[in-house]
């Protein structure tokens, strides 16, 4: 399978990319979107990371603003450039995301799996303008959503940053896997003690360790490295480690619930017994992973070579 990654390239995206680049995935392109940081910074971060890993993958420029023309960033959590690193170099990109993905579809017959780690502006824009290529998207794995917010009382960052785009994507009828913040907050976090203990026995690669420590330093309640963006990649490669629910999901667009992903657990799986709304799409929601297995799998792929 071929893969495409769409990212807002902050600190957890970078750690997820460092992890994914160890996995021999056939990554055909990376597109960036405004989110954690403005889009020009996300382009630079991805390029610097690829250079650090000595890997060449085309990087495309995506949306600077949400469907409603807004841009919310969190440089207080992700640094001005990439966490603890100040990047001296400015890189160029390989063109616009739409051209890049169109070019992929036109020049190959193989389908693609898309992994999104940021707001869904790019993917929604593509689906609206080029619905004829929907059948070429094998699966969409999305980091976003959750039962409580992290940027607003009910809003998880990636969905809250562009709820209209999320709504377009969730109602696209594509096969969707959703990794929301709940699975990371409940199971897939790494404590500072686990990081330092692991690093004593098997030395972590320099960027990974610095990014993990930076992530911990910006966290609270309790301090931990919550690498939200790595879960979709882990699910692709190790689905047996996860429990998954099949639930209808709707993005709330109005009022104080704006950006909330509402799951319908009355009508989950094959059950449909209370006010079933056939129009509401079902998604595969990653629900649990064993904490220890997650931690080992994550850290053991970031060790110094
Ligand atoms: O809410 C967590 C998500 O928002 C992560 O993808 C993080 O990088 C930010 O984009
Ligand atoms: Ca992200």
DSSP 73-131: --HHHHTTTBTTBPP------SSBHHHHHHHHHHH--S-EEEEE-S-SHHHHHHHHH-G
User: Which ligand 1 atom sits closest to the C-alpha of 156?
Assistant: 1
- Check whether 68 has a pLDDT greater than 70: yes
Instruction: Report d(CA 258, CA 252) in Å as an integer.
Output: 5
**Ligand 1 atom nearest to 13, measured from its CA:** 8
Q: What is the pLDDT of residue 271?
A: 57
pLDDT at 279: 62
Decide: 166 and 68 in contact? Cβ < 8 Å: no
Mean pLDDT estimate for the chain: 94
Residue 8 near ligand 1, beta carbon < 6 Å = yes
Longest CA pairwise span in the chain (Å): 58
Å from CA of 155 to ligand 1 middle: 11
81 within 8 A of 87, measured Cβ to Cβ: yes
157 lines ligand 1 (CB under 6 A): yes
Distance 37 CA to ligand 1 centre (A): 11
The secondary structure of residue 56, as a DSSP letter, is -
Q: Contact at 8 Å (CB) between 36 and 74?
A: yes
Q: Which atom of ligand 1 is nearest to the CA of 151?
A: 1
pLDDT of residue 278 exceeding 90, the answer is no
Centre of ligand 2 from the C-alpha of residue 179, in Å: 12
pLDDT at 47 (0 to 100): 97
Q: Which ligand is nearest to the CA of 36?
A: 1
Mutation to probe ligand 1, out of 228, 259, 286 (largest number of atoms < 8 A from CB): 228
Question: In the predicted model, is pLDDT for residue 275 greater than 80?
Answer: no
* Ligand that lies nearest to the alpha carbon of residue 78, given by its number in the listed order: 1
1-37 pLDDT per residue, tens: 999 999 999 999 999 999 999 999 999 999 999 999 9
Decide: 297 in ligand 1 pocket, CB within 6 A. Answer: no
Q: What is the pLDDT of residue 281?
A: 78
| Residues 74/157, Cβ–Cβ less than 8 Å | yes
Over the stretch 119-165, which tens digit does the pLDDT of each residue have?
Answer: 999 999 999 999 999 999 999 999 999 999 999 999 999 999 999 99
> Residue holding tokens 């994507």?
169
Q: Determine if ligand 1 sits within 6 Å of the CB of residue 150.
A: yes
As a whole number of angstroms, the distance between CA 228 and CA 183 comes to: 9
Residue 269 has pLDDT above 90, yes or no: no
Alpha-carbon span 215 to 231, nearest angstrom: 16
Between the CA of 12 and the centroid of ligand 1 the distance, in Å, is 7
What is the pLDDT, as a whole number, of residue 37? 95
- Domains of the chain, each with CATH number or no CATH: 2-300 (3.90.245.10)
Atom number in ligand 1 closest to CA 12? 8
pLDDT score of 276: 55
pLDDT band for position 78 (cuts 50, 70, 90): confident
* Distance (Å) from CA 188 to ligand 1 centroid: 14
CB 290 within 8 A of CB 187: yes
């Amino acid at each position: 399978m071929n893969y495409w990654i769409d990212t807002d390239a902050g600190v957890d995206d970078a750690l997820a990319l460092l992890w994914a680049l160890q996995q021999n995935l056939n990554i055909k392109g990376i597109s960036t979107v405004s989110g954690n940081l403005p889009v020009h910074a996300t382009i630079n971060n991805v390029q610097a990371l690829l250079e650090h890993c000595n890997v060449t993958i085309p990087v495309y420029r995506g949306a600077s603003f949400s469907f409603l023309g807004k841009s919310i960033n969190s440089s207080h959590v992700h640094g001005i450039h990439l966490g603890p690193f100040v990047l001296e170099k400015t890189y160029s990109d390989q063109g616009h995301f739409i051209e890049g993905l169109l070019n992929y579809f036109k020049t190959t017959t193989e389908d693609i799996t898309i992994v999104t780690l940021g707001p869904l502006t790019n993917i929604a824009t593509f689906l609206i303008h080029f619905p004829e290529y929907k059948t070429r998207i094998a699966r969409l794995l999305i980091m976003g959503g959750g039962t409580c917010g992290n940027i607003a009382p009910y809003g998880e960052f990636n969905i809250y940053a562009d709820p209209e785009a999320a709504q377009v994507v969730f109602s696209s009828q594509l096969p969707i896997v959703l990794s929301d913040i709940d699975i990371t907050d409940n199971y897939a976090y790494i404590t500072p003690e686990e990081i330092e203990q692991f690093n004593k026995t098997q030395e972590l690669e320099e960027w990974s360790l610095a990014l993990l420590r930076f992530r911990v330093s910006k966290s609270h309640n309790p301090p931990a490295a919550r690498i939200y963006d790595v879960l979709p990649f882990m699910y692709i490669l190790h689905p047996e480690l996860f429990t998954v629910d099949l639930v209808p999901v709707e993005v709330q667009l109005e009022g104080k619930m704006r950006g909330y992903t509402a799951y319908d657990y009355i009508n989950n799986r094959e059950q449909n017994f209370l006010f079933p709304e056939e129009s509401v799409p079902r998604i595969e929601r990653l629900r649990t992973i064993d904490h220890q297995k997650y931690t080992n799998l994550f850290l053991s792929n970031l060790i110094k070579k």
